[in-house]
Amino acid sequence: MRKRHVLAWLLCAALLAGCQGRPEEMATVVDPISQEALSQDLREALEEEWEAWNALSEERQILSSHVPGWCQRGFEDWAACEDFLGFSVPNPLEESGWLEKGTYVAMPLGFRDAPRVDLQWDGTEEGYVDWVSAGAGYRAGGTRVMISALLYGDPSKARLSDRDWTLDLGKQAADGVLHVIPENTERYCSRTAYLVRDGVLYCVHIIGEPDGKTDVEETLERALEAFSENPE
């Protein structure tokens, strides 16, 4: 599932972002990651990633579909993910009694050995972390519930321009507009909401049966209530 999670974020954000703001404007909305707060374990994993990339021949690097500096780790719960990250990222759904914990893509636990919580991040060879994405999944009956928390480093040091799409989306969400993307197909019905809390850009993604529009919308509303109970 290499980079699919992050690419899905970027695709959804690109559909919504009508224009891109300047980096200095974005920084006031989504708080920059404190590089000093990042754990030594995360830093060492990034260093190992670059060492593995540099060990490849030039030919293998050219043929590889992997983006150098991109890292991924799985965890058994949100707290373990925070410990590895080095600081707390609030997730109001983690302790919700009405949700059953699933894999990070909201499939039943044990499905294809997928982890409960997924952490992805990207950084430079010098050790600068540009972005971090933490995601977890839950189930409400047959409805899938996924949450992702996206954090950024200093926009002026960004390595990939794609990050501006989600930053622009975060700016709009922080202005009081909760973006919800509806999608209905022959295979599923989904709703995806974006919101900013405490300087973090959150994505809440709900997937249900094709004829389950009411269940999907009610589940999304209930999931978002958890954020209102934990205001900025």
d(C-alpha 101, C-alpha 36), whole Å: 32
Q: Answer yes or no: are the C-beta atoms of 154 and 221 closer than 8 Å.
A: no
d(C-alpha 40, C-alpha 18), whole Å: 38
pLDDT band at 140 (very low <50, low <70, confident <90, very high): very high
pLDDT per residue as tens digits for the range 32-89: 889 999 999 999 999 999 999 999 999 999 999 999 999 999 999 999 999 999 999 9
Q: What percent of the chain has pLDDT over 90?
A: 66
Mean pLDDT of the chain: 83
* Average of per-residue pLDDT across 148-163: 74
d(C-alpha 52, C-alpha 69), whole Å: 10
* Average of per-residue pLDDT across 167-185: 72
Residue 227 scores a pLDDT above 50: yes
d(C-alpha 122, C-alpha 72), whole Å: 9
Q: Which helix (H) or strand (E) holds 25?
A: helix 23-26
Residue 109 scores a pLDDT above 50: yes
pLDDT for the residue numbered 154? 80
Amino acid (1-letter code) at residue 15: L
pLDDT for the residue numbered 48? 97
* C-alpha torsion sign, points 148, 151, 152, 153: negative
pLDDT for the residue numbered 228? 82
Nearest to 114 by CA among 101, 123, 105: 105
pLDDT for the residue numbered 177? 55
SS3 (DSSP) at 32: strand
Q: Answer yes or no: are the C-beta atoms of 32 and 152 closer than 8 Å.
A: yes
pLDDT for the residue numbered 213? 95
Question: Beta-strand (E) ranges in the chain?
Answer: 70-75, 100-101, 117-123, 129-140, 143-152, 179-184, 189-197, 200-208
